[in-house]
Chains A and B, each alone.
Chain A
Amino acid sequence: MLGLSKKDTTFLLIVIFLTMATPILLQPFPEGSAMATFNAGYPDLMQRFAIFGIFAIGFNILFGLTGYLSFGHAAFLGVGSYSVVWMYKLLDYNVLPGLVLAIITSGIFALAIGYISLRRTGIYFSILTLAFAQMSFNLAYSVLTPLTNGETGLQVYTDDPQILMGENAPNVPHLFGLVMRDSYQLDLGGWLFTFNIGYYFCAVIAILAFYLSLRIFRSPFGMMLRAIKTNQTRLNYTGLNARPYTLAAFVISGMYAGLAGGLLAAMDPLAGAERMQWTASGEVILMTILGGAGTLMGPVLGAGFIKYFENIFSKINDTMLHGWFGWMPDGIEDAILFVSHFFVGKSWHLTLGLMFMLVVIFLPGGLVEGAQRIGRLFRRRGRKAGGPEAEAARQRNPGPAE
Chain B
Amino acid sequence: MSKTTLTRRGLLKSGIATGAGLAVPTIFTGAAWAASHSGFTNAPGDSEVVLGFNVPQTGPYADEGADELRAYELAVEHLNGGGDGGMLSTFSSKTLDGTGILGRKVKFVTGDTQTKSDAARASAKSMIEKDGAIMITGGSSSGVAVAVQGLCQEAGIMFMAGLTHSNDTTGKDKKANGFRHFFNAYQSAAALGPVLKALYGDDRKAYHLTADYTWGWTQEESMVAFTEDIGWETVNTVLTPLSATDFSSYIAPVLNSGADVLILNHYGGNMVNSLTNAVQFGLREKMVNGKQFEIVVPLYSELMARGAGQNIKGIPGSQNWDWKLENEKGARYVGTNAFVQSFGEKYGFPPSQAAQTCYAQTLLYADAVARAGSFNPCAVVEALEGFEFDGLGNGPTLYRADDHQCFKDVVVVRGKENPENEFDLVEIVEVTPSEKVTYAPDNEMFAGGNLGECNPGA
Contact = CB atoms under 8 A, between A and B. Distances in A.
A153 to B, nearest CB: 4
Given A42-B126, A187-B30, A315-B109, A172 B117 contact: no
Interface string B9-36: 0001000100100110110011011110
Contact of A42 (B25, B130, B172): B130
Given A151-B212, A184-B30, A272-B147, A311 B122 contact: yes
A141 B151 contact: no
Interface string A281-324: 00000000000000000000000000000010011010100000
Given A17-B19, A45-B126, A382 B5 contact: yes
B126 A44 contact: yes
Contacts of A333: none
Most buried by A among B34, B35, B172: B34
A320 B405 CA distance: 34
A10 B16 CA distance: 12
B150 A44 contact: no
Contacts of B155: 181
Nearest to A348: B112
A315 B129 CA distance: 14
B129 A153 contact: no
A344 B122 CA distance: 18
B33 A184 contact: yes
Contacts of B248: none
A150 to B, nearest CB: 6
B111 A270 contact: no
A353 interface: no
A157 B153 CA distance: 12
| Interface residue tally on A, bucketed by range | 35 or more
B168 to A, nearest CB: 8
B452 A142 contact: no
B111 A315 contact: yes
A346 B58 contact: yes
Interface string B104-130: 000011111000111101110110011
Contact of B146 (A141, A152, A158): A152
B117 A274 contact: yes
Contact of B7 (A158, A317, A319, A396): A396
A192 B57 CA distance: 30
Interface in A68-103: none
Interface in A197-244: none
Contact of A401 (B5, B8, B108): B8
Contacts of B126: 42, 44-45, 311, 315
Contact of B147 (A153, A194, A375): A153
Interface in A8-62: 10, 14, 17, 21, 24, 39, 42-45, 48
Given A42-B129, A150-B212, A274 B118 contact: yes
Contacts of A272: 116-118, 147
Interface string B146-163: 110011001100000000
B239 interface: yes
B448 interface: yes
Contacts of B5: 382
A187 B23 contact: no
A39 B130 CA distance: 9
A185 B111 contact: no
Contacts of B119: 274
A369 interface: no
A152 B218 CA distance: 12
Interface in B48-106: 57-58
A151 B242 contact: yes
A136 B108 CA distance: 39
B26 A186 contact: yes
Given A14-B12, A142-B241, A311-B122, A270 B212 contact: no
A274 B116 contact: yes
A121 B126 CA distance: 41
Contacts of B214: 150-152
Interface string A162-196: 00000000001000000001001111100011100
A275 B122 CA distance: 13
A151 B218 CA distance: 13
A163 to B, nearest CB: 19
Contacts of A155: 146-147, 150, 173
A155 B379 CA distance: 27
A52 B296 CA distance: 44
Nearest to A267: B125
Nearest to B457: A181
A192 B30 CA distance: 10
A330 interface: no
Interface string B395-438: 00000000000000000000000000000000000000000000
Interface in A248-272: 268-270, 272
A382 B12 CA distance: 18
B117 A152 contact: yes
17 contacts: A10-B12, A142-B212, A142-B239, A142-B241, A159-B450, A188-B29, A188-B30, A268-B125, A270-B118, A272-B118, A314-B112, A315-B110, A315-B111, A345-B110, A375-B8, A382-B5, A396-B7
Interface of B: 5-8, 12, 16, 19, 22-23, 25-26, 29-30, 32-35, 57-58, 108-112, 116-119, 121-123, 125-126, 129-130, 142-143, 146-147, 150-151, 154-155, 168, 172-173, 212-214, 239, 241-242, 448, 450, 452
Closest 4 pairs between A and B when the two form their complex, measured CB to CB: A151-B213, A186-B30, A185-B34, A346-B57
Interface of A: 10, 14, 17, 21, 24, 39, 42-45, 48, 141-142, 150-153, 155, 157-159, 172, 181, 184-188, 192-194, 268-270, 272, 274-275, 311, 314-315, 317, 319, 345-346, 375, 378-379, 382, 396-397, 401
